């Protein structure tokens, strides 16, 4: 099930909201848990069974760790947890990738297995694993109620595409939450904004990106339009899901941390990764980079640790070589910035800092998008820098811009915090005028509601509704 579906909007969510808010406080966690399991199990009972097994195992290992102070035993249980989660993730996500590469390298004829990748497996295994690691580190107290651990991992807003929520973020809220009308209103607004970003911008830019990347050959103008269009699609697709997840969490009394902070206004690659998929970046930092020594053990070790992190980041995103290349691509640029490039960037005008960063980002998304073989990636990069224009390209682009131009414009416009800046400026200006402030707030809610209703009409009239990060 996805947020941007009629079954979710008109059946699942209304029924859940009614049952949740009419029920006594002591029942609400269990209602959320039941509906979260239904939400995930909608894609297939086998997916649900796998997640329950993973979470149950992590619950037990965390309990075992809390019951002993013997370092050897605690470490053993931790190793078993990590091995179990990574083994599960590795089997479902990377088995066929390994078989293909063994066949290619050694000329073998191993048969690929029929493995269906469980939705969101990279997210819920990382989330469940972080809970056990935090119990081992004594950063959080063990949760003895298995249903609460299951709720933490399976909570439907963030289950299948993040953000990756730490247990300590929601530990208190699992036990103590109050119904707050203002929080519910803010959550609904955030959900509707995310829904609009997804349906209006991400889906339409995605349709154009698929057209161009699906062509057997493209010239330079088409290649750049495709690259920029996909850059918009992936941001609005993923950030929209995070907006909806955060908004839904707020409705039910949970406060998830932000996952995006307008990454396309970044002034460097390092700045970009402090703004993009923040929950994954901090997860790798806290659970791998710092334990490896971070930047505390000398320059050489720091770059080695960065290499490990970026390789793993690429592998986490997918079982294809382009994802690994994408990770190493960012390792090269972040290393260059640490070595010398950052000092140069700080001396040039801010406009050129943004231009450099966007250039790197757009090329990076081309690497990320060309996931059907390295030949496709090579052909596309050649087209980007070929300076070749085919006959008829201007007519094709005119047709594309006539159909999709408004969505490209909206994507570029809302990639910067214009809505937030205008809203904050007006709120500050009207702070001393109570009546005007109420009118302003009401107008804002009406605009967002109007956008949401338009988005629903788009959804009903369209069959194109992918979510990029579901496969991770």
Residue pair 4/198 in contact by the 8 Å Cβ criterion: yes
Rounded to the nearest 10 degrees, the angle between the axes of helix 321-336 and helix 350-369 is 160
Q: Copy the structure tokens of residue 193.
A: 């904004």
Count of C-beta atoms within a 10 Å radius of residue 408: 19
Q: Copy the structure tokens of residue 214.
A: 């699906």
**Cα–Cα distance measured from residue 231 to residue 214, given in angstroms and rounded to the nearest whole number:** 16
CA 323 to chain CA centroid, nearest Å: 15
Q: Copy the structure tokens of residue 33.
A: 């848990």
Among residues 312, 411, 303, which one has the least CA distance to residue 362?
411
**Cα–Cα distance measured from residue 66 to residue 77, given in angstroms and rounded to the nearest whole number:** 10
Residue pair 233/205 in contact by the 8 Å Cβ criterion: yes
Rounded to the nearest 10 degrees, the angle between the axes of helix 167-175 and helix 146-154 is 120
Q: Tell me if residue 376 is catalytic.
A: no
Q: Specify burial of residue 46 (Cβ count, 10 A radius: 0-12, 13-18, 19+).
A: exposed
> Rounded to the nearest 10 degrees, how much is the dihedral formed by the CA atoms of 297, 303, 305, 308?
-160
Rounded to the nearest 10 degrees, the angle between the axes of helix 181-196 and helix 220-251 is 160
Count of C-beta atoms within a 10 Å radius of residue 206: 24
Among residues 365, 288, 358, 359, which one has the least CA distance to residue 326?
365
CA 388 to chain CA centroid, nearest Å: 35
- Considering the candidates 255, 277, 317, 433, report the single residue annotated as catalytic: 317
Count of C-beta atoms within a 10 Å radius of residue 111: 8
Q: Count of alpha carbons within 13 Å of 26, Cβ hemisphere only?
A: 0
Q: Return the active site residues.
A: 317
């Amino acid at each position: 099930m996805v947020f941007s579906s009629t079954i979710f909007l008109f059946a699942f969510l209304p029924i859940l909201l009614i049952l949740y808010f009419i029920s006594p406080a002591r029942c609400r966690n269990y209602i959320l848990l039941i509906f979260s399991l239904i939400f995930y199990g909608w894609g297939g009972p086998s997916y649900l069974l796998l997640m329950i097994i993973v979470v149950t195992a992590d619950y037990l290992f965390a309990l075992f760790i809390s019951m002993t102070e013997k370092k050897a035993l605690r470490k053993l249980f931790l190793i078993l947890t990590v091995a179990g989660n990574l083994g599960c993730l590795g089997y479902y996500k990377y088995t066929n990738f390994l078989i293909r590469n063994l066949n290619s390298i050694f000329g073998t004829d191993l048969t690929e297995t029929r493995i269906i990748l469980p939705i969101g497996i990279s997210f819920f295994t990382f989330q469940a694993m972080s809970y056990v690691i935090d119990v081992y580190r004594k950063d959080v107290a063990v949760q003895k109620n298995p249903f609460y651990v299951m709720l933490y991992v399976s909570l439907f807003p963030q289950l299948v595409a993040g953000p990756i929520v730490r247990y300590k973020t929601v530990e208190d809220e699992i036990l103590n939450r109050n119904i707050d009308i203002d929080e519910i209103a803010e959550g609904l607004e955030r959900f509707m904004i995310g829904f609009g970003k997804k349906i209006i911008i991400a889906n339409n830019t995605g349709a154009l990106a698929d057209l161009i990347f699906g062509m057997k050959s493209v010239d330079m103008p088409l290649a750049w339009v495709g690259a920029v269009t996909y850059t918009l699609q992936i941001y609005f697709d993923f950030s929209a899901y995070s907006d909806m997840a955060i908004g839904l969490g707020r409705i039910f009394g949970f406060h998830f941390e932000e996952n995006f902070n307008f990454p396309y206004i970044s002034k460097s690659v390092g700045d970009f990764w402090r703004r993009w998929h923040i929950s994954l970046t901090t997860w790798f930092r806290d659970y791998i980079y710092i334990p490896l020594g971070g930047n505390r053990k000398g320059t050489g070790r720091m770059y080695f640790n960065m290499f490990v992190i970026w390789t793993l980041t690429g592998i986490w995103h997918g079982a294809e070589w382009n994802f690994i290349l994408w990770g190493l691509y960012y390792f090269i640029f972040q290393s260059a910035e640490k070595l010398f490039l950052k000092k140069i960037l700080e001396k040039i005008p801010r406009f050129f800092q943004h231009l450099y960063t966007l250039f790197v980002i757009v090329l990076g998304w081309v690497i990320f998008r060309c996931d059907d073989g390295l030949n496709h990636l090579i052909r596309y990069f050649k087209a980007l820098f070929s300076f070749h224009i085919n006959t008829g390209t201007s007519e094709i682009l005119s047709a594309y811009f006539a159909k999709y131009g408004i969505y490209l414009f909206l994507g570029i416009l809302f990639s910067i915090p214009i809505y937030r800046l205008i809203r904050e400026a007006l709120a500050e200006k009207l702070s001393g005028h109570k009546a005007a402030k109420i009118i302003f707030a009401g107008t804002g809610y009406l605009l967002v509601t109007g956008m949401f209703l338009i988005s629903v009409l788009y959804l009903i009239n369209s069959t194109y509704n992918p979510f990029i990060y579901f496969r991770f």
